[in-house]
Amino acid sequence: MKDKIHPKYFPCKVYHNGEVVMTCGATVPELHVEVWSGSHPFFTGKQTFVDSAGRVEKFQKKFGGNYFAPKKK
């Protein structure tokens, strides 16, 4: 193996709603997920509400609201 080309490896903790749901290895020390197998209706067999309205606000916040405005030449 070549030296100094590989990313740093962390024992990663995966969080869902503020609690640790699993541990794994990754290039980041923490992951925060909205949906995982323990909360997904396919795996649990029960329907839960996913905040789809909050996703729009998250997108607008991320891209600043004027992301799709015509570019000035």
Domain range summary for the chain, segments of one domain joined by +: 10-63
The residue with greater pLDDT, 8 or 63, is 8
Beta bridge partners of 23: 13
- For 11, what's the count of Cα atoms within 13 Å in the CB-facing half-sphere? 2
The CATH T-level fold of domain 10-63 is Rhinovirus 14, subunit 4 (4.10.80)
Residue 36 falls in which region: left (phi positive, over 0), alpha (psi -120 to 50) or beta: beta
**How far is Cα 11 from Cα 27, in angstroms, rounded to an integer?**
9
Report the pLDDT value the prediction gives residue 62, as an integer from 0 to 100: 76
Average pLDDT on 26-42 reads 83
Query: Looking at the predicted structure, is the pLDDT value of residue 26 above 90?
Result: yes
